[in-house]
């Protein structure tokens, strides 16, 4: 037989890709692949006693991430519940799922393909990638799925999507890789989704996208739909990004540290390409370089065009961010830039953003509009965490208590508060003193939200 189904035992990247040659090839079954992969795919049931807020992504009628029941409280009780899928990636019981499946939940159960159920705890919850790692509470060996290499995926590759759509039980659907490196979908800071036409629906979120060797190539995460059901356009988070989250969990870390560039990037438009003497838009333009950081140490300069990282071409800031985020900390990585029309080879250190100054968090509990907000000092690490590209001053809102004055006022996570009543906010202690003042009925604020400076007044 010449079909790719005969290559289960071959090494990654060695299998030939070929179309069916005969009618017999077309009639071959995907059952061997499904049989090998299915035991590693689980159902994830998450719940919370109190009512949780609706995920704002559900308000977007085009790109919907999915919980099965929309993450809304079910009738007859105050608890919120969500349903999704997950993949066992280590025999010790590590399960990868989507962040949005367990977001805000405090009780998790995992149901295996053989109908056994186990309680689970969250080891790593990473909203920036929309990924989470759970630990099954049970001391035995679990059927783990082999991790593939998403950089080897090609448009046209056959893939299977395995999950629990609509809560009806484990289901397998088949399709092809429709596109690679899809961006601007929302839900993740690292935009490089694998697009597939394998049918995925509510409840598939967190499930497996596998290749014809039953290896994991992606975590199903989102669909393009105006109805909430599959129309043949689904998106999966590449497994090479998943590996970084799993590695953090195995190290015992509850947060993911990634390499830091220390520079701001923007896309290269046709006008920019013409101005730089490029024959076409390619690479990413360095718009700003911090005085200290890996980019400065490597010799990157404002106006450089980065064309590749570690031998991989990059054409958008999202593509660069994805490539950098999948590299482990430590050592260096080759970087190619164009400067004055000529290529230049540089070496970029793979280090995480520093926590300087220290966060020194402060939570406000008084009669001001800021009550219920937690702020921290701005550092490169905080700027990375909240994707604050050009923030250099102020304090950053990191938490908002439900139903608090801060929530009612409209503060959001990631807001950078620059000044209150014309006084610059240099650190959290100053912020605490400023919000304790009671000699005014209105508060004049200057803050940065979504890269835009906003000036407003709020009532006392």
Closest to 43 (Cα-Cα) out of 245, 240, 208: 208
Residue with the two structure tokens 């059952």:
31
205 is a catalytic site residue: yes
> Which tokens in the block code for residue 272?
């920019």
What is the enclosing helix (H) or strand (E) of 285? strand 284-289
Choose the catalytic residue: 103, 126, 130, 318.
Answer: 130
Closest to 39 (Cα-Cα) out of 91, 107, 105: 91
Do 407 and 401 meet the contact criterion of CB atoms below 8 Å apart?
yes
Residue 205 counted as an annotated binding residue: yes
Choose the catalytic residue: 100, 188, 189, 404.
Answer: 100
In angstroms, the CA 216 to CA 242 distance is: 10
In angstroms, the CA 265 to CA 286 distance is: 5
100 is a catalytic site residue: yes
In angstroms, the CA 404 to CA 178 distance is: 45
Do 435 and 409 meet the contact criterion of CB atoms below 8 Å apart?
no
318 is a catalytic site residue: no
Report H helices in 186-343.
239-250, 270-275, 294-298, 317-325
In order of 182, 222, 256, 292, the CA distances from 186 in angstroms are: 11, 9, 20, 30
Residue 204 counted as an annotated binding residue: yes
Residue 203 counted as an annotated binding residue: yes
What is the enclosing helix (H) or strand (E) of 137? none
In whole angstroms, what separates CA 317 from the centre of its chain? Answer: 15
Closest to 8 (Cα-Cα) out of 178, 114, 148: 148
Choose the catalytic residue: 205, 308, 368, 404.
Answer: 205
In order of 181, 198, 309, 346, 453, the CA distances from 273 in angstroms are: 22, 37, 19, 21, 29
In order of 51, 111, 244, 403, 450, the CA distances from 74 in angstroms are: 10, 21, 35, 21, 33
In angstroms, the CA 251 to CA 254 distance is: 9
Catalytic residue numbers, as ranges = 100, 130, 205
The binding site consists of 100, 130, 203-205
Residues that constitute the known binding site for substrate? 100, 130, 203-205
């Amino acid at each position: 037989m010449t079909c790719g189904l005969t290559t289960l035992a071959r090494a990654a990247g060695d299998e030939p890709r070929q179309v069916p040659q005969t009618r017999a090839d077309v009639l071959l079954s995907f059952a061997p692949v499904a049989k090998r992969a299915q035991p590693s795919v689980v159902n994830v049931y998450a719940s919370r006693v109190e009512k949780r807020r609706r995920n704002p992504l559900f308000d977007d009628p085009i790109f919907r991430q999915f919980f099965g029941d929309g993450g809304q409280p079910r009738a007859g009780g105050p608890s919120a519940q969500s349903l999704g899928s997950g993949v066992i990636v280590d025999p010790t019981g590590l399960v990868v799922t989507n962040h949005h499946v367990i977001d805000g939940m405090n009780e998790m159960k995992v149901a295996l393909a053989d109908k056994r159920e186990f309680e689970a705890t969250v080891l790593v919850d990473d909203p920036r990638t929309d990924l989470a790692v759970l630990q099954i509470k049970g001391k035995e060996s679990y059927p783990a799925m082999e991790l593939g290499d998403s950089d080897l995926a090609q448009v046209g590759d056959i893939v299977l999507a395995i999950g629990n759509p609509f809560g009806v039980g484990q289901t397998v659907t088949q399709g092809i890789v429709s596109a690679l490196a899809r961006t601007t979908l929302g839900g993740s800071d690292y935009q490089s989704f694998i697009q597939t036409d394998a049918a995925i629906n509510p409840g598939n979120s967190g499930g497996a996208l596998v290749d014809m060797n039953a290896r994991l190539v992606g975590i199903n995460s989102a669909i393009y739909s105006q109805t909430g059901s599959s129309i043949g356009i689904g998106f999966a988070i590449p497994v090479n990004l998943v590996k970084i989250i799993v590695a953090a969990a195995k190290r015992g870390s509850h947060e993911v540290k990634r390499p830091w560039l220390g520079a701001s990037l923007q896309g290269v438009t046709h006008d920019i390409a013409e101005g730089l003497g490029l024959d076409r838009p390619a690479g990413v333009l360095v718009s700003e370089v911090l005085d200290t950081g890996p980019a400065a140490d490597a010799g990157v300069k404002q106006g450089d065009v980065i064309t590749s990282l570690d031998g991989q071409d990059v054409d958008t800031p999202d593509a660069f961010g994805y490539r950098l985020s999948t590299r482990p900390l430590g050592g260096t990585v080759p970087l190619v830039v164009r400067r004055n029309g000529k290529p230049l080879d540089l070496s970029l250190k793979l280090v995480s953003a520093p926590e300087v100054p220290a966060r020194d968090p402060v939570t406000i509990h008084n009669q001001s509009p800021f009550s219920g907000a937690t702020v921290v000092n701005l550092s490169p690490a905080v700027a990375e965490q909240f994707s604050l590209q050009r923030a250099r001053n102020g304090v950053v809102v990191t938490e908002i208590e439900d139903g608090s004055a801060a929530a009612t006022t409209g503060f959001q996570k990631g807001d950078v508060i620059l000044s209150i009543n014309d006084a610059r906010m240099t650190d959290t202690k100053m912020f605490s003193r400023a919000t304790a003042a009671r000699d005014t009925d209105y508060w004049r604020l200057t803050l940065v939200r979504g890269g835009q400076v906003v000036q407003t007044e709020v009532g006392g």
